[in-house]
Amino acid sequence: MSTGAVGGRRVRVCVLGPSGRMGQALIEAAVAGDEPDVVIASAVDRAGAGVIGTAVASDVIASDDLAYGLGAAQVYVDFTTPASTAVAARAAVSRRVAAVIGTTGLDADANAAIDALAAVAPVVVAANFSLGVNVVLGLCKRAARALGPAWDPEVVELHHRAKRDAPSGTAIAIAKAIAAGLEVDYDQARCYAREGDVGPRPDGQIGVVAVRGGDVVGEHTAYFFGKHERVEIGHRATSRTIFAAGALRAAAWVAGRPPGRYDMLDVLGLA
């Protein structure tokens, strides 16, 4: 479903990291017309990247000039690294360029830079841009609220061997949704894997486990273990096109919005 371009014109998008997995998927999705209200206007990668100086889309040559890339666009889309995300957000402040950020493993510095940008421009930040995953987040929150603290929640995620951060941002988002449903402090309840003689599972714990291997795009399962039964809520991605399509939809949606920090639930009207 089209979201409507700003002023009847397609939203100009800058893709950061066109040599990366998601950067390539974003460009391919845009070129294929998966989101008709956006057009790739520029692409920026790190200095020395093999893609620099090559055509990545119609009339778009990849560059290492961040200022130029941001200046050519209304919205930039960032699935890079926390350090690069911080640099881009700070560069975008003076230009008030809107952003769609899917970088995971964000640290305090990156979040501070994003918050500074969100004070002057609209920014969509999400751990996962899949429609299905965002439905899962809502279901997990409701399941946790309905089942209550007597059930033991665990989250297991699988990703390809090249993924750098663990647990995945989506797994953390699911665990946080469970914590919200239980009305508990996530940082106090979470447990990232286990090792050694850890003793019986404490009441109120939310376990999160990361598995890495092969070329798995992304799988997440939330388990709720009760007495003599269990509930499983899961999502399996088989192609990065679902994330790229969602990010481009977010780019079309965020252009022209008031400054602030939004998430994918806002984009989809599920907030």
- What is the extent of the structural domain holding 212? 131-237
106 pLDDT above the threshold of 80? yes
148 pLDDT above the threshold of 70? yes
| 81 occurs within a structural domain | yes
Q: 12 with 82, same domain?
A: yes
| 211 occurs within a structural domain | yes
Q: 137 with 232, same domain?
A: yes
| 100 occurs within a structural domain | yes
Q: What's the mean per-residue pLDDT of the chain?
A: 94
Number of domains in the chain: 2
Q: 111 with 151, same domain?
A: no
pLDDT, average across residues 159-173: 94
The verdict on whether 235 is a catalytic residue reads no
Could you tell me the maximum CA-CA distance found in the chain, to the nearest angstrom?
62
Angle 248-251-254 (CA atoms, 0-180°, nearest 5)?
Answer: 150
270 pLDDT above the threshold of 90? no
Q: 55 with 12, same domain?
A: yes
Give the pLDDT band (50/70/90) at residue 58: confident
Integer CA distances (angstroms), 165 to 104, 162, 211, in order: 7, 9, 11
Q: 233 with 252, same domain?
A: no
Helix, strand, coil shares of the chain, percent, nearest 5, are 35, 25, 40
Q: 197 with 101, same domain?
A: no
pLDDT, average across residues 72-81: 97
pLDDT, average across residues 159-184: 95
pLDDT, average across residues 91-98: 97
Q: 34 with 121, same domain?
A: yes
Q: 96 with 193, same domain?
A: no
Tell which wins on pLDDT, 193 or 67. Answer: 67
- pTM for this structure? 0.79
Active-site residue identified among 141, 160, 163, 228:
163
The verdict on whether 159 is a catalytic residue reads yes
CATH of the domain at 249: 3.40.50.720
Quick one: pLDDT at residue 2?
41
Assess contact for 62 and 44: CB atoms under 8 A: yes
| 17 occurs within a structural domain | yes
Integer CA distances (angstroms), 164 to 5, 57, 105, 133, 212, in order: 35, 28, 9, 20, 10
Enter the DSSP assignment of 10.
P
**Helix H or strand E segment including 48:** none
Q: 77 with 209, same domain?
A: no
| 1 occurs within a structural domain | no
For 213-261, the pLDDT digits (tens) are 999 999 999 999 999 999 999 999 998 889 999 999 999 999 999 999 9
Most confident of 32-36, 50-54, 120-124, 265-269: 120-124
Active-site residue identified among 141, 159, 176, 220:
159
